[in-house]
Structure 1
Amino acid sequence: MRFFKLLFVGGLSLVSLASQAETVKGLYQVREPVSSQAPEERDQATQRALATLVLRLTGDPKAAQSPGLAALRKDPQQIISQYGFDAGPPEVLKVDFDPASTEQALRRAGLSLWGADRPSILGWWLNDATEGSTLVGDRQASATPLRRAAQHRGLPLRLPLADLNEQIVATAPNLEGADPAPLRGASDRYNADALLAVHAREEGGQWQAKWRLWLGDQKEAGSVQGADQAAVADAVMLAVSERLAPRFVVKPGASSEQLLEVQGMNLERYAALGRLLEPFGARLQSVDGDRILYRVNGSAEQLKAQLSLARLQEVPADEAPASATPVQPAADGSAPA
């Protein structure tokens, strides 16, 4: 069993903590386009909604076809709390899944889940269309398909204001380049965890996009295409989700029990940390002043990745403050005294 000692960096305030990882709202609500409200169309859309939700919660494109979910595919109603139609446009079937029964069913199927607290992503998105180039800004109409795609794929997306200074920085060469340095300075004020740079172009009635993602030391890149802006936005967000998820989900069989001590705690941080540790089945062991000890299940790499969203850093035992007394796990696995 490994022992981790972590510290809130520089007396980090609640504001700084909350501005990093974001709790995805509506994570268990899925909206699927429909051509009518006929029962057959509704049933097909419900199946698509289930597949979308499973992918959103696992990041695994094959998870929805898992043998352990055969009963759910046959009768998804057992985890649906309500559904209804939204006239749009476009017209959609809105399905609300019950979080508790959904998570229980997916865990019984042996699937690993990605929690609701996810890295915030700042999206620098440049559209090149026949009418010219446009940097998508937070309050522009062109932001709508991006926001819908991010919500559909369970990603907390932020967009820049796209003011004149940002338009000068967010050029096609900078967005397609492997070095994020040109975007870093303009991104600081948005205080996001990850940077997403996308250059989308319309050619011959089709859209294609090149994208790059930076999160800590993780670098990802790819290209997608779609029939329109909405389709290419969804393709980008799907690709980003599939690249990020393995870093944060707790994989069955790859987990081990860990002891985690966090220093610099207060009531507000306790609530935020509890949300981050939900995927790891955290069990509170002890509280001593501003120190708190958890027993968690997960790999060391995934635990560190999740806690980095709260800007926590690991403190080696020999570098801990003088007042710190490392807590050792009891030999019989019981809670430390």
Structure 2
Amino acid sequence: MSLLTLFASVQSLAVTVPDLYEASVPVTSNRDAAFIEALRSVVIRVSGRPDAPARLGGALSNPRQYAQRFGFTADNVLQVVFDGVSVDRLLTDAGLPVWGRERPATLVLVNVTTTSGSSYWIDSSAVSAEREVIARAARQRGLPIVWPDMTTQDRTQINADAAATGGEPTALMQTAARYSANAALLGVARSDGAGGMSVRWTLASDDGAVNSTGSLEEGVNLAASTFARVYSASGTSLDNLAVEVSGITTLGAYASTLNYLEGLTLVRGVSVEQVLGDTLKFRLAVRGDATTLRRALALDGRLVPTATSDALPQSAEGLRFRYQP
């Protein structure tokens, strides 16, 4: 059974991140510095690139021009919402990509071994410093994460997979599917006895597995940077793509499909070109290309690619999908 089959056996749901262009920054020196730090954090989150602030250079010197609204709390924290169109243009002008609001849900599985040799899993009910570090890093990178319940079945399966260094990610993807997640991030952590933590990370997705070693935050950075490369789009030009969707048998299905396509960050315009039975042919103006769009649509399984579309992601015939109620 392929990873894609395993992945699709339980419908996975992409997460729409609503606060990509928002930031809260304590004012430690002056308000101008807080504005700059707020914009720095937003361009990293939206581009998916940790080096984005350095690439923008002097454009960061006047961050207020990109602010849509802002205020200061009673304890002197700047809360600012930047204008999404302006930030996207800023990134594009600098040759940086834009990673949209629709992002993979990632199941985080972390096993910690203490200096005494005992170990434990961090789950959805845990209150721990390690979980807070990972959650904070995920918020900073705009990575939607899911914590497991750690049932006996999950613990047995995950322990077996964690013991296999460099093994196939099949077991991780099965676990991710049970939590309706698009990917799994496994961290095998060991305390160094001095308050630090060394973690061996494995990110499993439908593209395979990648590995990294480092801090608790490194796993989030691995996932965010990997997904940003896959799902972000660069450039100001729009590609015109033909997209056929079959299985649309009711007015509700039509409205649902149209609203879904129009709501995707990558999609800048939608028109209906043809209706033939239960099949609609759309023309989409897309930032990016057919492969980027196909990957974005695959995140939540509302539109399932047909064999032709999956085998030929970009062709004269366009992309073909079937509506999945």
TM-score range, shorter chain: 0.7 to 0.9
Q: Does the CA-based 8 Å contact 1:121-1:194 persist in structure 2?
A: yes
Match of 2:308 among 316, 320, 326: 316
The residue aligned with 1:229 is none
The residue aligned with 2:189 is 200
Match of 1:304 among 286, 291, 294: 294
The residue aligned with 2:172 is 183
Q: Distance in 1 between matches of 2:105 and 2:245?
A: 23
Q: Distance in 1 between matches of 2:103 and 2:173?
A: 20
Match of 2:40 among 21, 42, 51: 51
1:123-272 to structure 2, matched below 5 A, reads: 123-130=108-115, 132-142=118-128, 143-171=131-159, 173-174=162-163, 176-203=165-192, 204-225=194-215, 232-233=216-217, 235-252=218-235, 256-265=239-248, 266=253, 267-272=255-260
Q: Does the CA-based 8 Å contact 2:169-2:209 persist in structure 1?
A: no
Q: Distance in 2 between matches of 1:134 and 1:66?
A: 41
Deviations along 1:252-299, whole A, 9 cap, x unmatched? Answer: 2897443222223422233233333x2243432435255141233322
Q: Does the CA-based 8 Å contact 2:14-2:103 persist in structure 1?
A: yes
1:221 Cα deviation after fit: 1.2
1:187 Cα deviation after fit: 3.5
Q: Does the CA-based 8 Å contact 1:250-1:280 persist in structure 2?
A: no
Distance 1:315 1:186, change over 3 A: closer
1:85 Cα deviation after fit: 4.5
Distance 1:139 1:292, change over 3 A: farther
Distance 1:282 1:139, change over 3 A: farther
Is residue 104 of structure 2 the alignment partner of residue 115 of structure 1? Answer: no
Q: Does the CA-based 8 Å contact 2:238-2:285 persist in structure 1?
A: no
1:41-80 to structure 2, matched below 5 A, reads: 42-67=31-56, 70-71=58-59, 73-80=60-67
> Which structure ranks higher in relative contact order (CA pairs < 8 Å, sequence separation ≥ 6)?
1
Q: Does the CA-based 8 Å contact 1:213-1:219 persist in structure 2?
A: yes
Secondary structure at 1:27's aligned position in 2? coil
| More displaced stretch, 293-302 vs 21-30 | 293-302
Secondary structure at 1:141's aligned position in 2? coil
Report the residue type matching 1:201 in the other structure. R
Distance 1:184 1:306, change over 3 A: closer
CA RMSD of superposed structures (Å): 3.2
Deviations along 1:278-330, whole A, 9 cap, x unmatched? Answer: 2243432435255141233322322221122133314438x9xxxxxx979xx
Q: Distance in 2 between matches of 1:49 and 1:214?
A: 31
Distance 1:74 1:255, change over 3 A: same
Which ranges of structure 2 fall in alignment gaps of 5 or more residues? Answer: 319-325
Distance 1:188 1:256, change over 3 A: closer
Q: Distance in 2 between matches of 1:177 and 1:195?
A: 14
| More displaced stretch, 120-129 vs 163-172 | 163-172
Deviations along 1:45-82, whole A, 9 cap, x unmatched? Answer: 43232222112111223322235x623x1111112221
Q: Distance in 2 between matches of 1:174 and 1:83?
A: 49
Secondary structure at 1:82's aligned position in 2? strand
